[in-house]
Structure 1
């Protein structure tokens, strides 16, 4: 990652214009990136002062020059937001390798989940035109964008993310993640996603999926629920009234799927649809726990909004919004691979404890502030800073709370969740 950030190739690929970053300025391309990655959540003037002071105190031989907020704003306009997607791809490429002992799979699958969410943006004419306008619970007009992520729920890594206009539906955004699909992926979706087209795209690309469907989804599903069976293999068909122009199927083209009946403790019946047909290899009893893993992508959005504070944007243009969004995804991925690397030591710590403990995600981002520059700074002693971070992460853990109840609509009435006494801002 260090080599990538400080390579001339990165600047060449992701600068806006050929003439950008050609002169020897106070803030070259790599320094601008490091500053943007440093979890900017306060006033730019304060962030710049802290950035320069920290580097000069830690690396006395470097004499990092100061710069103004205006100079940074002008510099960021020269950088494509996709640079942060590229940096995330470097993490992903190096993490998903056969010799990575910390990589977690289930039944040989990467267990992925897709979910969308609305991200509240600053109210500007440019952002209104780019992303769309809606109203909150108080009927106040606000600007929001629709995000979608493809998330590895077992390893905490975001494989792909998009931020688009509200008018674009979640299914369409979910299919954009297909560029990151790999053999032996199992992708989990909630009940907002199922459709014939959607399942067909997965089957065509030989990608397995698990989707929650409403009982009212189709007559086939309703009949299955009334029948009382735990699992059946059946076929679904496209809606007869839709247009088949340009499609590679017609109203008589069936798709073979498996339906599963999940009974909740409350007595409610949930129905899951999957492409995993082998009932011996994939027995019905495994799917309740498997689908519950999708909760990981929900907690990721909580992390993104309430711990990484993605909605505290550092600018008001579409460019800065995209930069901040993809930068936060990159930081999240970097934090995840560090945490995954110390899971063995955390497991040893838990042997003598009554409960299992995990790294405190909120505090971990606070510890990354400033230190993330040393992790990525080419001349910094990597072993020292990694050891320092590892010790801080292992020292600050929280108990794992299983079987927690989800309160639907808990935050619907206010813009941001109330920060409780046991969770203060870390950045």
Structure 2
């Protein structure tokens, strides 16, 4: 799979498709199209001068200036990293049935959004907008959203957009990257007739948590005491139908599921999986909890990959760094998943162990360049990295629970950083 990516990375086709101008990268320079991509993929979190020094030292090539790199990256379309990521995921899901984890035949996906802090420049402030923080000063931020495979830990699609673009709109855009055997899970910020309608049109199933007060139908369902009920959902009476593909007379058949929590509260889930025999009511609580995988991914993206430490200040740089981070996270998943499977089969200790994901990103720095540039056989480099990962394992402790302090950031109480969570990059 990595060999396929390397082949594509150094292909003329990729260069022709993702250079900004037909005249770009036509001269013989130190920084070729492929070398520039590799440099951007190498977690540029320090001073550019230091990053260039280490990069040149590792690949044993002629040095280049910061200005040369800046000029070269302007010639590259940020979507190139999405293309490389799609090559990886296509390879993974094709003719690889033994390794692909499914839930009742479904590829289990989750969508979630977050905000990402950007450098405060005039260009970025104008494009993405700003929001106030606790001190009432404005911070430049963008909205990001990912479509994530929670069982196999791959990012299928990721986007950043201005704050004026809502999470629901971005979620609908993600559906272009789904297929017929997908089941997409959403939290309670997403339910709408729009989203359900799009899923039904594309024949993609979904599971959405909704507030009890979401509609009269959800209120009546909870009051009825039932645990499962199929209803006809209709567009809201007060929403504008301008530019919509449906009318006020259209409806969507969905199933409501009641979930009673240990603390006595009631949650309502909405799904397009209507058959109670094939999908009993009792499976949905654990199924919805699998959505937590996308929350864990945001922790990796922000705190381990440190996506907010951008290497440039223009919108093009932001898009390049963001897409590169998603691609490298998929490379890490490819390497770690195989090793974790081997560990589960071999271990006979009290606790099962897995690769320390935080350290794995630190070990990938510089070695990601070796993986694609080295004269060694790809399998040899791959095995060397796996050997390093296997020496840094952490135990999997089941049934661990932590009290959630919702106001710890609002009250400006800095969370405790434990020893094994120190920065690896």
Deviation at 1:279, TM superposition (A): 0.8
- For 2:387, the equivalent position in structure 1 comes to 391
Per-residue Cα deviation, 1:284-330 (whole angstroms, up to 9, x for no partner): 11111100011010110110000000000001111100000000000
- For 1:255, the equivalent position in structure 2 comes to 252
Which secondary structure does the structure 2 equivalent of 1:290 belong to?
A: helix
Q: Distance in 2 between matches of 1:371 and 1:26?
A: 20
Which secondary structure does the structure 2 equivalent of 1:113 belong to?
A: strand
Per-residue Cα deviation, 1:77-105 (whole angstroms, up to 9, x for no partner): 11110000101011011011133422111
Note the 1:64-143 alignment, pairs <5 A: 64-143=61-140
Alignment partner of 1:150 is 2:147 = yes
Describe the shift of the 1:286–1:25 C-alpha distance in structure 2 as closer, same or farther (beyond 3 A). Answer: same
Deviation at 1:331, TM superposition (A): 0.4
Q: Distance in 2 between matches of 1:407 and 1:261?
A: 26
- For 2:36, the equivalent position in structure 1 comes to 32
Deviation at 1:412, TM superposition (A): 4.2
- For 1:377, the equivalent position in structure 2 comes to 373
Please say which of residues 241-250 and 166-175 is displaced more in the overlay: 241-250
Deviation at 1:359, TM superposition (A): 1.3
Which secondary structure does the structure 2 equivalent of 1:149 belong to?
A: strand
Q: Distance in 2 between matches of 1:326 and 1:418?
A: 30
- Asked if structure 1 preserves the Cα contact closer than 8 Å seen for 2:408 and 2:414, the reply is no
Alignment partner of 1:48 is 2:52 = yes
- Asked if structure 2 preserves the Cα contact closer than 8 Å seen for 1:6 and 1:378, the reply is no
Which secondary structure does the structure 1 equivalent of 2:303 belong to?
A: helix
Which secondary structure does the structure 2 equivalent of 1:312 belong to?
A: coil
Please say which of residues 45-54 and 93-102 is displaced more in the overlay: 93-102
Q: Distance in 2 between matches of 1:95 and 1:415?
A: 42
Describe the shift of the 1:41–1:418 C-alpha distance in structure 2 as closer, same or farther (beyond 3 A). Answer: farther
Which secondary structure does the structure 2 equivalent of 1:342 belong to?
A: helix
Per-residue Cα deviation, 1:314-353 (whole angstroms, up to 9, x for no partner): 0111110000000000000110111122233111243x12
Note the 1:21-420 alignment, pairs <5 A: 21-56=25-60, 64-350=61-347, 352-377=348-373, 379-401=375-397, 402-405=399-402, 406-412=404-410, 419-420=417-418
Per-residue Cα deviation, 1:348-402 (whole angstroms, up to 9, x for no partner): 243x121222211100001101111121226333122111111122221212244
Describe the shift of the 1:418–1:311 C-alpha distance in structure 2 as closer, same or farther (beyond 3 A). Answer: farther
CA RMSD of aligned residues (A): 1.6
Q: Distance in 2 between matches of 1:307 and 1:134?
A: 24
Per-residue Cα deviation, 1:239-277 (whole angstroms, up to 9, x for no partner): 123333454433332211110011111111110000001
- Asked if structure 2 preserves the Cα contact closer than 8 Å seen for 1:183 and 1:207, the reply is yes
- Asked if structure 2 preserves the Cα contact closer than 8 Å seen for 1:190 and 1:211, the reply is yes
Q: Distance in 1 between matches of 2:66 and 2:257?
A: 56
Q: Distance in 1 between matches of 2:414 and 2:73?
A: 28
User: Where does the alignment leave 5 or more consecutive residues of structure 1 unmatched?
Assistant: 57-63
Q: Distance in 2 between matches of 1:418 and 1:124?
A: 32
Which secondary structure does the structure 2 equivalent of 1:419 belong to?
A: coil
Describe the shift of the 1:133–1:248 C-alpha distance in structure 2 as closer, same or farther (beyond 3 A). Answer: closer
Q: Distance in 1 between matches of 2:88 and 2:413?
A: 33
- Asked if structure 2 preserves the Cα contact closer than 8 Å seen for 1:102 and 1:340, the reply is no
- Asked if structure 2 preserves the Cα contact closer than 8 Å seen for 1:3 and 1:378, the reply is no
Q: Tell me the TM-score normalised to structure 1 length.
A: 0.95
Q: Distance in 2 between matches of 1:414 and 1:297?
A: 25
Describe the shift of the 1:39–1:128 C-alpha distance in structure 2 as closer, same or farther (beyond 3 A). Answer: same
Which secondary structure does the structure 2 equivalent of 1:306 belong to?
A: helix
Which secondary structure does the structure 2 equivalent of 1:309 belong to?
A: coil
- Asked if structure 1 preserves the Cα contact closer than 8 Å seen for 2:340 and 2:355, the reply is no
- Asked if structure 1 preserves the Cα contact closer than 8 Å seen for 2:187 and 2:209, the reply is yes
Which secondary structure does the structure 1 equivalent of 2:160 belong to?
A: strand
Number of aligned positions between the proteins? 419
- Asked if structure 1 preserves the Cα contact closer than 8 Å seen for 2:114 and 2:145, the reply is yes
Which secondary structure does the structure 1 equivalent of 2:267 belong to?
A: strand
- Asked if structure 2 preserves the Cα contact closer than 8 Å seen for 1:257 and 1:275, the reply is yes
Which secondary structure does the structure 1 equivalent of 2:375 belong to?
A: coil
User: Where does the alignment leave 5 or more consecutive residues of structure 2 unmatched?
Assistant: none
Deviation at 1:17, TM superposition (A): 0.9
Deviation at 1:139, TM superposition (A): 1.3
Q: Tell me the TM-score normalised to structure 2 length.
A: 0.95
